[in-house]
Structures are given as structure tokens and as C-alpha cells.
Amino acid sequence: QRQTSDVRPQTSGKRPNPTIQGTLERVLQRILREPVQVIGSGELGDRGLWIAYELVRGETFAALLKHAQPSITESLKLLAAVLAGLQAIHDAGVLHRDLKPANIMLGRDGVPRILDFGLARPVVREKPLTEVGTALGTAGYMGPETLLGQAPTSATDIYAAGALAFAMLTGQ
């Protein structure tokens, strides 16, 4: 079983916008308080932002799918929990942008937790935070708009959730 605590700088090479940093911190603390606790967050000078989560003991969906395929009933139960988490993320005004089996931890308590917000960004309708034409994420889970270099939307994460559902239900 894998244990994880995610401390990952968001390295854009540019100094983070304090408004964006504050928004991300507030949103992540709100959506992750249950069931994952944010321990701290801050800035690494010119290297970007960091977020530290509580230690979660368990295994990623990627590890789970390598050694066993959950039953259809169990898959649907886990997917429903992941979708509820994704809805909370979107309701808080954040796009995850890298939802995939390796970024979902199934805790020992059986509760899935969405992790790794390294590519997450608040939804900003006026101007995207990533240059249009820049594709970030994992190819098998990226929505078509991302692959085409268009601005990501909540549909980007929903597409990734569909790819996750396909992997869990088919073992492929």
C-alpha cells in the first residue's frame, strides 16, 4: 500500500498572483477539509505555490486497477464518490485538469480522495490562467478541447471522469 503527502510546487516560472494564490488556498481548504485536510500552503518565491495535505494511507486507483478490477457495483460506488468530490471542486470554482487513477487515493477507510492539484486553476472567465494552445495533463484523460489547445472548462474534468469510469468498468 502507498502512503502519500502531496507537496508540489506549481512552477510556472512567473511570480504567482496573490489574488489567485489566495483564491486557490481558500477554495482548496473549503473543498478538501472533508475528507482530506490541507495542512498548509504558501509560496516558494519565484517557483510558485505549494500545498501540503494530511498523510492519506491507502492506494491509488491506478494501483488498485493493476492488481484487481472492482466489481461493477463497487466501481459505481467509488465513481459516485469521485463525482461528488469533482462536483464540490467545480462548485468551488476550480478546475482540477489532471483527474486520472494515479491522482485518486482510496483511503483505508474506503473513501476515495482526489489529490494532486498541481495543475488546478480557479475558473476565470475573463482570461485563462494557462495560455491557450498549451496542453497540460495526462493524454489518455485529457478532453478533446485540451488536446486542441483550447481553454479548459469543467467539461475537461468531466471527460476525464468518463475515461476513469471506462478504465474501472472495463479494466482497460
Catalytically active residues, by annotation: 98
Cα gap 146→114, rounded to integer Å: 20
Cα gap 73→40, rounded to integer Å: 36
Omega before 128 cis (within 30°)?
no
Phi, psi angles (nearest 5°) of residue 46: -80, -5
Cα gap 154→139, rounded to integer Å: 17
Phi, psi angles (nearest 5°) of residue 43: -125, 140
Cα gap 10→50, rounded to integer Å: 7
- Residues 96 and 31 sit within 8 Å (Cβ to Cβ): no
Omega before 35 cis (within 30°)?
yes
